[in-house]
Structure 1
Amino acid sequence: MKIALLGYGKMGKVIERIALERGHEIVLRKSSSNSFDGLSSADVAIDFSVPSVAVENITTCLNQGVPVISGTTGWLEKYNDVVALCQSQNGAFLYGSNFSLGVNLFFELNTYLAKLMARFSSVYKVSMEEIHHTQKLDSPSGTAISLANGIIENSAYAGWIEGKPADTKAASDEIVIEAKRIENVPGTHSVFYQSDVDYIEIKHVAHNREGFALGAVLAAEWIQGKKGVFSMKDVLNLKA
């Protein structure tokens, strides 16, 4: 499989190594200093760039008929536009706020727990914490937002707000997400259900970028020959 890497930072380099180990070929390493030359020869593109260029990268791929996997977060206000373009071009697009197998299982656990706890909303208040490396550009993380949305869709919560639970004047139907930036932390996400007498916590801790990169390559392998808009639920067959 011929792969175009859109974004050649730390994640791009890990994806490259794993892709080569799995027998694939890299035909484009796109950074801010070079063009899209080579994209048309790719079987798939993997975008781990930055929010300011992600939509341009994805749009260029779809317009050239190249399936695209995107793990860049912080651009989702344009998500519906990208979906519409993918459909109009009869293309293939897969977005994931996190490509880790463990995180995607964590998403399912989070949804299941939210459904259980919805009956006890008068007893337990939800809050969240996410910790990432200091180079991460968006806050809170896309993974944290996905977790919050999983709770909102299965409870009486109406939205989320960023801040510290002790200091934030959140409405009763808002989930407070505290975002921390600490050197050399790949990603930690915690969900808390707090009452006056106890609390329940679920947590996912990433040790390195390997799991994210492998998931992105697996998604690129999976999307071959497919048309439509997908997620990691499709790749991992987690849809009910």
Structure 2
Amino acid sequence: MRIALIGYGKMGKAIEEIAVAKGHEIVLKITSSNTEEFTTEALQKADVAIEFTNPHSAVDNIKKCLDAGIPVACGSTGWLERWEEVIDYNVVKNGCFLFASNFSIGVNLFFELNSYLAGLMAPHTDYEVTTEEIHHTQKKDAPSGTAISLAEQILQQITRKKQWVNHISDNPTELEIISERIDPVPGTHKIKYQSDIDDIEIIHTAHNRKGFAGGAVLAAEFLHGRKGVYNMKQVLGL
């Protein structure tokens, strides 16, 4: 499979290493220093694109891939206020698009565990739930997309919580997401249920970027030859 990497920072390089080891070919690498090469003609040499850039350029990058008729898997976060715009654009272009706040297989299993645990804890109002995420200092958005996904899952199950906030809160209807930026942490997410009697915690700690990169390549393989909108649950058959 021929892959275009839109974004060639640390994550892009990790994706390249895994993709090449699996026998795929990287036919395009786009960074901020060679945007003139980000053309329809160049994109059409690829079978699929993987987009890892930043919240400000992600939507335009996705659209450019869809314009070229190339399936695109996007791991950039912080742009979801434009979600409907992208989905509508994908329909117009009869394209193929996948977004994941986190491509890691372990994190996606953690999502399933988080949702299940929140459902179990919902009736037990003596427990206060909080969330925490820690990333490296180059992480541009806070809270992380993964932390938002985890929080949204909790809000679906624990209805006494009405919204998440990215600060410490004494409002019982708000779900705290506490964000820290510490080098060289690739990503840690913690969900804590605390009562006067005991605490229950689940934690996912990434040791490196290989989990994210491997999941991104798996998603690209899944998208090849498809149309529509997908997520990692479908990729992993969860």
Instruction: Give TM class, smaller chain.
Output: over 0.9
Cα distance, 1:198 vs. partner? 1.2
Cα distance, 1:109 vs. partner? 0.2
| Aligned position for 2:192 | 192
Query: Amino acid of the residue matched to residue 221 of structure 2?
Result: E
1:128 aligns with 2:139: no
Larger deviation: 149-158 or 89-98? 149-158
Q: C-alpha separation between the residues in 1 aligned to 2:156 and 2:225? A: 32
| Aligned position for 2:165 | 161
| Aligned position for 1:226 | 226
Q: C-alpha separation between the residues in 2 aligned to 1:203 and 1:137? A: 22
| Aligned position for 2:81 | 77
- Cα RMSD, aligned residues only: 0.9
Query: Amino acid of the residue matched to residue 139 of structure 2?
Result: K
Cα distance, 1:225 vs. partner? 1.5
Q: Once superposed, which parts of structure 1, at least 4 consecutive aligned residues long, lie more than 4 Å away?
A: none
1:151 aligns with 2:151: no
User: Which of 100, 103, 108 in structure 2 is aligned with 1:104?
Assistant: 108
Cα distance, 1:159 vs. partner? 1.0
TM-score by length of 1: 0.95
Q: C-alpha separation between the residues in 2 aligned to 1:219 and 1:162? A: 30
| Aligned position for 2:95 | 91
Cα distance, 1:173 vs. partner? 1.6
| Aligned position for 2:19 | 19
Q: C-alpha separation between the residues in 2 aligned to 1:194 and 1:177? A: 15
| Aligned position for 2:10 | 10
Q: C-alpha separation between the residues in 1 aligned to 2:163 and 2:231? A: 22
Cα distance, 1:87 vs. partner? 1.2
Query: Amino acid of the residue matched to residue 6 of structure 1?
Result: I
Q: C-alpha separation between the residues in 2 aligned to 1:158 and 1:70? A: 28
User: Which aligned pairs between 1:196-207 and structure 2 lie closer than 5 A?
Assistant: 196-207=196-207
1:175 aligns with 2:178: no
Q: C-alpha separation between the residues in 1 aligned to 2:114 and 2:26? A: 36
Q: C-alpha separation between the residues in 1 aligned to 2:173 and 2:84? A: 26
Q: What's the CA shift string for 1:180-236, capped at 9, x where partnerless?
A: 110100000000111122111000000000000000000000111211111000000
TM-score by length of 2: 0.96
Cα distance, 1:20 vs. partner? 0.7
Q: C-alpha separation between the residues in 2 aligned to 1:2 and 1:224? A: 10
Q: C-alpha separation between the residues in 2 aligned to 1:173 and 1:199? A: 20
Gaps spanning 5+ residues in structure 2: where?
Answer: none
Query: Amino acid of the residue matched to residue 205 of structure 2?
Result: V
Cα distance, 1:16 vs. partner? 0.7
Cα distance, 1:6 vs. partner? 0.4
Q: C-alpha separation between the residues in 1 aligned to 2:200 and 2:67? A: 47
| Aligned position for 1:140 | 143
Q: C-alpha separation between the residues in 2 aligned to 1:151 and 1:228? A: 27
Count of aligned residue pairs for this structure pair:
233
Gaps spanning 5+ residues in structure 1: where?
Answer: none
